[in-house]
Structure 1
Amino acid sequence: MSGRTDGTGMFRSLRVRNYRIYASANLLSLTGTWMQRIGQDWLVLQLSGDSGIALGLITALQFGPTLLLSMYGGVLADRYAKRRMLVVTQALMGLLALVLGLLVAADGIALWHVFVLAGALGAVSAIDAPVRQAFVSELVGPELLTNAVSLNSTIFNGARLVGPSVAGLLIGAASGDTAPAFFVNAASFAFTIAALLSMRNSELHPSPPVARAKGQLREGLAYTWAHPDLVLAMGLAFVLGTFAFNYQVTIALMAREAFGLGAQAFGFLSTCFAVGSLSGALLSTRRSARPRQRFLVGAAVVFGLFTIACGLMPGYWSFAAMLVPAGAAGLVFSVANNSFVQLGADPQMRGRVMALYFMCFMGGTPLGAPLIGWVSEHLGAPWGLILGGAVAVLAGCGAAAWLARGRRVRLEASVAPPRLQLHVGPRTVPSAQVRTAAEAAARQAPGQQAASGS
């Protein structure tokens, strides 16, 4: 099988050989990445004395460079061969993971080392992410893009399902030593590099390269601003990415502070969230068309409500159970928003548009993660979840109000099966404008009739 794209089904993108190779290696690499995230968060808690602010700061350092470098990464994605760029970025991320592991193993690690390496990893990831996002369309073509994006999320959350559990077991078996998790992640990048090098170039769908020129960053911003649908999607991505998608901070603090448990319990809670995320990703693979804006709005509100519910859970097991639907709702929103933006952008602008999207989705983390960490540390870990969920609900309601300007809106809810649907009618025209248009048509009618009779 080579580049076939025919047929239907949840896994139809896997019929494409290049994508199949990429997806298999990506599963191994992302498992290592999640192991490093768990190990890094646990290492920060060990070195900082369980500081929520330090945990938020390490997250901010890892995602902060997105604000500065993501758009530049998008320009590079539109200008150069994406596959070659990914080989370089994957090799650099593997090297950074190896350095962190060696420092921990040699017992020479300090908190500032973790901060510096997290910032360096964030800088490389800021270039890697928009290139990788845009590369998906070159692997499968536009017909399978929505399915491929959903499968990528399935793979991402399948790795999230396995990685935290394995990391928790490794750290627990090593009496709290996080070095094995970092070494496994460093080795995992080799699989992605090998997959990229083994692809058949003739079966890729490259977009025409954009020549080097001045003002390409501004061109990407202007293009996005001229499309209100993209602005809406990126606005939701920014607000939810800043305040609601901080589970890497809140789950760790809930495990350690609210419940007084160790690394294995932390890994289990992360796995529960991943189970829900994986379910949401699998549901999203059935979608073949571009999502509607009202679907994005509804998904944002539902995710916010589940996040609030997580913060209200009274015990460890009820919290673990609520993480499953919260993860599913978050992933449904994330996949839909990603597909919506990719399918709404012209191929020659896709790298820059996806860079801006990634900057919105992850760039707010340097602001949101320390804030959520501060709230969790001073008011209690549950309040970090409650605040983030409330902001997501308000953002969804605000977006719904913006969409509903001049339209008839109806909300339908049902219990069996559980369903929440937002129906937005066509935009209504004020009666004064209707009368003006009718009078203008009446005035033009005699002249048109005379012209047609002559």
Structure 2
Amino acid sequence: MPHRTSATRDPVAGSPPRRGTFASLRIRNYRLFFGGQIVSNIGTWMQRIAQDWLVFQLSGNDPVALGIAVALQFAPTVVLSLWAGVLADRVDKRKLLIAIQTGMCAQAVVLGLLDVTEVVLLWHVYVLCVVHGCLSALEVPTRQSFVAEMVGPGHVPNAVALNSSIFNMARIVGPAIAGFTIVAIGTGWLFLANAASTVAVIAGLALMRPGELLRGPAVARAKGQLREGLRYVRGRSDLMTVLVLVFFVSTFGITFFASLAIVAANVFGTQADGYGMLSTLLAVGTFTGALASARRGSRSRPRVGVLLGSALALGALEIGAAFMPTYLAFGIALVPLGVATITFLNTANALVQTSVSPEMRGRVMGLYVLVLMGGNPIGGPMTGWMAEQFGGRSPFYLGGAIAVLAVVVCALVLYRARRDPLRAV
């Protein structure tokens, strides 16, 4: 290959970190990944809103049925995410992601065709929720650990935040499109649109330059690798505390996938467009928070103080939103709640990724995904049950209270340890 001067060539992963909100986009492989994610995440959010509304329609607005769908979609995480982390440490992550994304495309096509042809039943959706959950359980830890290979450790906090920004930009656009599209032509075509959007991710991964990826040391297949990863985390009390906090906040506090549909339909009596608008307002906050995190991540390492503060704000704001008297006031309250939520999630992700050994990253991220998403099989049905027993607002004020309590307990544990875990040196 002809030599190119530093003035003309693209920066590559592993080059010294540069400041700026979009610093990671100077790396070609990450630009390809970022572009594919923009398109695909819009499709993902359209499908998520369409799926929730389809379940609501097929079940006669039953909040428990929606909770079951959420549980089935996230239950495979409990079984597969740790194993997925081991797999991600062993194999080529880029090729594995291409295979997983192809499976996700097929799942969306099947659900779309069942819906468009008007033969879809509730159990069809449940089965496909399990399929999607299995693929997601493999995809998330692989994608999370692949970030460091694309950009290098110095850019990880910025890249994590940029990933969240496009996820949440899609969360603004996708639900808004979905809400009005469902009213106009129904849910089926949104599933097919999501299948088409997945092609953008596959193309971006295929066009990457493998030689510019910063792969960690090869981990040969051997017995006990999963136990080795668990022992590594168990020996790190700092990591354990962060993971416990993530579990309680995500399981009981971040239940928006089910609770927003319940509030929209059963509290304020809106249709799919009303649900889509609430999701969009929450996403305005998460998008704003993600951009702020990207800027902060390009300047400094993630800090535990930010993690604890954002989790406390999340719980308090969620309690406040629960008591908003009108649809408009509730929607406006979702904006700062979204900022706190994404700040907490981005900080937790970056703290974990930047504090582990490269050869352990896949396994640790598998455990992180387990505690982040593995509680949804509990949180989903619990949200539906609480809404049915105590009213549609109850998942917000009870979930917020549990999040606040978890922050207080974890802060006391860290204070007693008399050190700042995961602090950058």
TM-score under structure 2 length normalisation: 0.94
Spell out, residue by residue over 1:149-172, the C-alpha distance to the aligned partner (whole angstroms, 9 max, x if none).
Answer: 010000110111110001111111
Spell out, residue by residue over 1:175-226, the C-alpha distance to the aligned partner (whole angstroms, 9 max, x if none).
Answer: xx20011011011111100110000111111112200000011011000111
Rounded to whole Å, the distance in 2 between the matches of 1:390 and 1:72 is 33
Residue identity matched to 1:86:
L
Rounded to whole Å, the distance in 2 between the matches of 1:378 and 1:307 is 19
| 1:138 aligned residue (104, 126, 149) | 149
Spell out, residue by residue over 1:347-383, the C-alpha distance to the aligned partner (whole angstroms, 9 max, x if none).
Answer: 0000000000000000000001110111012211111
Match of 1:359 in 2: 370
SS at match of 1:109: coil
Rounded to whole Å, the distance in 1 between the matches of 2:29 and 2:145 is 15
Matches within 5 A, 1:275-290: 275-288=284-297, 289-290=300-301
Rounded to whole Å, the distance in 1 between the matches of 2:184 and 2:303 is 47
| 1:2 aligned residue (10, 24, 30) | 10
Match of 2:411 in 1: 400
Match of 1:414 in 2: none
Identity among equivalent pairs (%) = 48
Match of 2:228 in 1: 219
| 1:168 aligned residue (158, 179, 191) | 179
Rounded to whole Å, the distance in 2 between the matches of 1:22 and 1:407 is 40
Spell out, residue by residue over 1:14-48, the C-alpha distance to the aligned partner (whole angstroms, 9 max, x if none).
Answer: 00011011101101001100000000000000000
Match of 1:116 in 2: 127
Rounded to whole Å, the distance in 2 between the matches of 1:209 and 1:26 is 27
Matches within 5 A, 1:74-85: 74-85=85-96
Residues 147 and 156 in structure 2, CA contact (< 8 A), matched pair in contact too? yes
Match of 1:91 in 2: 102
Unaligned runs of at least 5 residues, structure 2 = 1-8
Rounded to whole Å, the distance in 1 between the matches of 2:315 and 2:364 is 26
Residue identity matched to 1:339:
A
RMSD value, Cα: 1.4
- Tell me whether 1:46 sits opposite 2:54 in the alignment: no
Match of 1:57 in 2: 68
Match of 2:264 in 1: 255
Residues 243 and 369 in structure 1, CA contact (< 8 A), matched pair in contact too? no
Match of 2:248 in 1: 239
Match of 1:192 in 2: 201
Residues 310 and 323 in structure 1, CA contact (< 8 A), matched pair in contact too? yes
Match of 1:419 in 2: none
Rounded to whole Å, the distance in 2 between the matches of 1:212 and 1:3 is 33
Larger RCO: 1 or 2 (CA < 8 Å, sep 6+): 2
Q: CA deviation at 1:228?
A: 1.0
SS at match of 2:379: helix
Q: CA deviation at 1:406?
A: 6.7
Q: CA deviation at 1:3?
A: 3.0
SS at match of 2:270: coil
Residues 245 and 407 in structure 2, CA contact (< 8 A), matched pair in contact too? yes
Rounded to whole Å, the distance in 2 between the matches of 1:391 and 1:351 is 29
Q: CA deviation at 1:232?
A: 1.0
Q: CA deviation at 1:78?
A: 0.2
Match of 1:292 in 2: 303
Q: CA deviation at 1:291?
A: 2.1
Q: 1:404 to 1:42 in 2, by over 3 A?
A: same
Spell out, residue by residue over 1:324-347, the C-alpha distance to the aligned partner (whole angstroms, 9 max, x if none).
Answer: 000110000000000000001100
Rounded to whole Å, the distance in 1 between the matches of 2:66 and 2:405 is 26
Rounded to whole Å, the distance in 2 between the matches of 1:278 and 1:312 is 24
Q: CA deviation at 1:7?
A: 2.9
SS at match of 2:296: coil
Q: CA deviation at 1:407?
A: 5.1
Residues 157 and 302 in structure 2, CA contact (< 8 A), matched pair in contact too? no
SS at match of 2:388: helix
| 1:17 aligned residue (14, 23, 28) | 28
Residue identity matched to 2:143:
R
TM-score under structure 1 length normalisation: 0.88
Matches within 5 A, 1:25-40: 25-40=36-51
Unaligned runs of at least 5 residues, structure 1 = 409-422, 425-454
Match of 1:441 in 2: none
Q: CA deviation at 1:385?
A: 0.6
Spell out, residue by residue over 1:311-330, the C-alpha distance to the aligned partner (whole angstroms, 9 max, x if none).
Answer: 11111000000000001100
Residue identity matched to 1:2:
D
| 1:274 aligned residue (260, 268, 283) | 283
Residues 175 and 276 in structure 2, CA contact (< 8 A), matched pair in contact too? yes
State how many pairs are aligned: 408
Residues 150 and 213 in structure 2, CA contact (< 8 A), matched pair in contact too? yes
Match of 1:305 in 2: 316
Rounded to whole Å, the distance in 1 between the matches of 2:286 and 2:272 is 21
Residues 244 and 385 in structure 1, CA contact (< 8 A), matched pair in contact too? yes
Residues 301 and 393 in structure 1, CA contact (< 8 A), matched pair in contact too? yes
Residues 61 and 366 in structure 1, CA contact (< 8 A), matched pair in contact too? yes
Residue identity matched to 1:233:
V
Residues 172 and 284 in structure 2, CA contact (< 8 A), matched pair in contact too? yes
Residue identity matched to 1:3:
P
Residue identity matched to 1:143:
G
Residue identity matched to 2:274:
A
